[in-house]
Amino acid sequence: MAKRRKLVVANWKMNGRLTSGLNLAKDLVDRAAEQKPLSFDVVLCPPFTLLWPIGETLMGSPLLLGGQDCHIANHGAYTGNISAGMLADLGCRYVILGHSERRAQHGETSDLIARKVTAAQLAGLVTIVCVGETMEQRASGTTDLVIAEQVTSSLPDTVQASQLVLAYEPVWAIGAGETPSIDDIRHVNKIIRRSLGAMGEVVPVLYGGSVAPNNAGPILEEPEVDGVLVGAASLNSDGFWAIAEKCR
Ligand code: PGA
């Protein structure tokens, strides 16, 4: 398997105000400038409210911008929603879709997520599609089945491999300070690749869930892991950059 360039994604979730968000982004731009050229890719996914100012801050730097969700439609009477075209318009190159918090808190089904993938890819975005088992599913030994089912049903038939990234995010590990063993991560990432069929050779598969400076090294050294999706630890520039640097 060819070695893929690692990808480190910051998912700020519903965190960050104008001043704190801009300071964080500026710090990261400075860090990236210290080590040109970057040997890995970094994507910042701030809340919608900060996309414009942070996009301006990232301009001219190697850091890329991403959204945390998008709607299935391109425009229309959808109060409170944001379309993939709007994200692209603001300079986003990526969008996270199907995060377990969207699935659980907003009732998002894999079918809906597949439609979002279609919309986002049509708008030219790279879609980071999240899958992961709950603690109950893990305990009942159904992880492999759950993951395979989520992968196949969260992707449309028309999915473009060149605009696709998968992220294994065990629900029980997110925000919990706990991660699966490297063996478990390797095993599930292989299941994801297998479920992707021929695309599995080229699509990056990340890991996410309580990634922190003290555990990122072995995770990022694992050949089956093409990068990480970082939540809480991405809100601190020192911590986030310490994780990103483990890609080297
Ligand atoms: P966490 O979140 O790093 O805070 O566990 C990861 C995620 O939800 O993407």
User: pLDDT tens digits, residue range 124-172?
Assistant: 999 999 999 999 999 999 999 999 999 999 999 999 999 999 999 999 9
126: three-class secondary structure by DSSP: strand
Q: Specify the DSSP class assigned to residue 7.
A: E
| Inter-residue contact 227 to 180 (CB < 8 Å) | no
- Cα–Cα distance measured from residue 119 to residue 111, given in angstroms and rounded to the nearest whole number: 13
The number of the ligand 1 atom at minimal distance from the alpha carbon of 229 is 9
Model-level pTM?
0.97
Please state whether 91 falls in left (phi above 0), alpha (psi between -120 and 50) or beta.
left
Q: What are phi and psi of 167, to 5 degrees?
A: -130, 125
Torsion angle of alpha carbons 222, 224, 227, 229, nearest 10°? -100
User: 3-class DSSP state for residue 168?
Assistant: strand
Percent pLDDT > 90 in the chain is 97
Whole-number Å distance, alpha carbon 76 to ligand 1 midpoint, is 31
pLDDT value, residue 2: 56
Catalytic residue among 99, 101, 108, 133: 99
| Average pLDDT of the segment spanning 57-83 | 98
Q: In the beta sheet, which residues pair with residue 65?
A: 44
Given a cut of 60, whether residue 65 has pLDDT beyond it is yes
Ligand 1 atom closest to 212 (CA): 3
pLDDT at 248 over 90: no
Catalytic residue status for 101:
no
pLDDT given at position 105: 97
Which residues are near ligand 1 (CB < 6 Å)? 11, 169, 174-175, 208-211, 229-233
pLDDT in tens, 217-234: 999 999 999 999 999 999
Q: Which of 143, 196, 191, 211 is nearest to 165 (CA)?
A: 196
